[in-house]
Chains A and B, each alone.
Chain A
Amino acid sequence: MIKLQNVEKVYRTSSVETLALNNINLTVNRGEFVSIMGPSGCGKSTLLNIMGLLDEPSSGHIEIDGSRVERYQDKALAQLRNQKLGFIFQSFHLINDLSVLDNVEIPLLYRDSTAKQRRELAQQALEKVGLSNRMKHFPKQLSGGQKQRVAIARAIVGQPEIILADEPTGNLDSAMGNEILSILQKLNEDGATIVMVTHDDAMAKRTHRLIRLFDGTQVQ
Chain B
Amino acid sequence: MQRIRSYPEVESASRMSSNTPFSMSNMNNGITYNNVHTMAEFYRSDEALAQTLDLKLVAGRWFGPQDRAAQYTPLVINRKFQEKLFPNENPIGKVIKQDDKHVWKVVGMVDHFKGKGEFTGNTPAVFESLMNTDWDKNILIKTRPGTDANFEARLVKEVLGVGQGWGAEVTYLTESRKNQHNLTLVPVIVFVIISTFLLINVGLGLFGILNLNIARRKSEIGLRRAMGATEKTVSMQFLGEIWVLATFSLLLGLLFAVQFPLMNVFDMDANIYVLAIIAAVGVIYLLVTLCAWYPSRQASLVQPAVALHEE
Question: Does A33 reach chain B (CB closer than 8 Å)?
Answer: no
Supply 5 A–B pairs (Cβ within 8 Å), ascending by A: A52-B226, A54-B304, A74-B232, A82-B228, A111-B228
The B209-230 residues at the A interface (CB cut-off 8 A) are: 219-220, 222-230
Question: Does A56 reach chain B (CB closer than 8 Å)?
Answer: yes
Chain B residues lying within 8 Å of A54, measured Cβ to Cβ, are 222, 225-226, 303-305, 308
Q: Contact at A106–B227, with CB atoms within 8 Å? A: yes
Report Cα–Cα, A46/B88, bound state, in Å.
81
Report A's interface with B, CB cutoff 8 A. 46, 49, 52, 54-56, 74-75, 78-79, 81-83, 87, 89, 91, 93, 95, 106-107, 109-111, 154, 158
Query: Do A49 and B231 contact each other (CB < 8 Å), given the known contacts A93-B223, A95-B220, A95-B223?
Result: no
Instruction: Name the residue on B nearest A73 (C-beta).
Output: B230
- The smallest beta-carbon distance between B65 and chain A, in angstroms, is 84
Q: Contact at A74–B230, with CB atoms within 8 Å? A: yes
Q: Contact at A81–B308, with CB atoms within 8 Å? A: no
Instruction: Name the residue on A nearest B309 (C-beta).
Output: A45
The B198-254 residues at the A interface (CB cut-off 8 A) are: 219-220, 222-233
Which residue of A55, A79, A106 contacts B223 across the interface (Cβ within 8 Å)?
A106
Question: Does B134 reach chain A (CB closer than 8 Å)?
Answer: no
Most A CB within 10 A of own CB, among B228, B304, B311: B228
Chain B residues lying within 8 Å of A107, measured Cβ to Cβ, are 227-228
Which residue of A46, A87, A91 contacts B227 across the interface (Cβ within 8 Å)?
A87
Q: Contact at B228–A74, with CB atoms within 8 Å? A: no
Report Cα–Cα, A193/B259, bound state, in Å.
64
Q: Contact at B229–A78, with CB atoms within 8 Å? A: yes
Instruction: Name the residue on B nearest A78 (C-beta).
Output: B230
Tell me the interface secondary structure of chain B in the complex: helix
Report Cα–Cα, A109/B240, bound state, in Å.
15
Q: Contact at B228–A110, with CB atoms within 8 Å? A: yes
Q: Contact at B305–A49, with CB atoms within 8 Å? A: yes
- The smallest beta-carbon distance between B232 and chain A, in angstroms, is 8
Chain A residues lying within 8 Å of B233, measured Cβ to Cβ, are 78, 110
Report Cα–Cα, A89/B310, bound state, in Å.
13
Report Cα–Cα, A43/B231, bound state, in Å.
26
Known: A74-B230, A110-B233, A154-B227. 17 other contacts (CB 8 A): A49-B304, A54-B225, A74-B231, A78-B225, A78-B228, A78-B229, A79-B228, A81-B225, A81-B226, A81-B228, A82-B228, A89-B308, A93-B222, A106-B227, A107-B227, A107-B228, A110-B227
Chain A residues lying within 8 Å of B304, measured Cβ to Cβ, are 49, 54-55
- The smallest beta-carbon distance between B301 and chain A, in angstroms, is 10
Report Cα–Cα, A91/B230, bound state, in Å.
23
- The smallest beta-carbon distance between B186 and chain A, in angstroms, is 50
The 10 closest A-B pairs by CB, nearest first: A82-B228, A110-B228, A55-B305, A49-B305, A54-B305, A54-B304, A107-B227, A78-B230, A93-B223, A87-B226
Which residue of B220, B228, B303, B311 contacts A91 across the interface (Cβ within 8 Å)?
B311
- The smallest beta-carbon distance between A109 and chain B, in angstroms, is 8
Chain B residues lying within 8 Å of A87, measured Cβ to Cβ, are 226-227
Query: Do A55 and B303 contact each other (CB < 8 Å), given the known contacts A93-B308, A106-B224?
Result: yes
Report Cα–Cα, A55/B220, bound state, in Å.
16
Chain B residues lying within 8 Å of A89, measured Cβ to Cβ, are 308
Which residue of A55, A56, A110 contacts B229 across the interface (Cβ within 8 Å)?
A110
Report Cα–Cα, A74/B232, bound state, in Å.
9
- The smallest beta-carbon distance between B216 and chain A, in angstroms, is 12
Most A CB within 10 A of own CB, among B223, B224, B233, B303: B223
Chain A residues lying within 8 Å of B219, measured Cβ to Cβ, are 93
- The smallest beta-carbon distance between B309 and chain A, in angstroms, is 9
Query: Do A81 and B227 contact each other (CB < 8 Å), given the known contacts A91-B311, A93-B219, A95-B220?
Result: yes
Report Cα–Cα, A81/B224, bound state, in Å.
10
Q: Contact at B227–A82, with CB atoms within 8 Å? A: yes
Report Cα–Cα, A93/B304, bound state, in Å.
13
Chain B residues lying within 8 Å of A154, measured Cβ to Cβ, are 227
Report Cα–Cα, A137/B110, bound state, in Å.
76
- The smallest beta-carbon distance between B237 and chain A, in angstroms, is 9
Report Cα–Cα, A106/B234, bound state, in Å.
13
Report Cα–Cα, A75/B228, bound state, in Å.
9
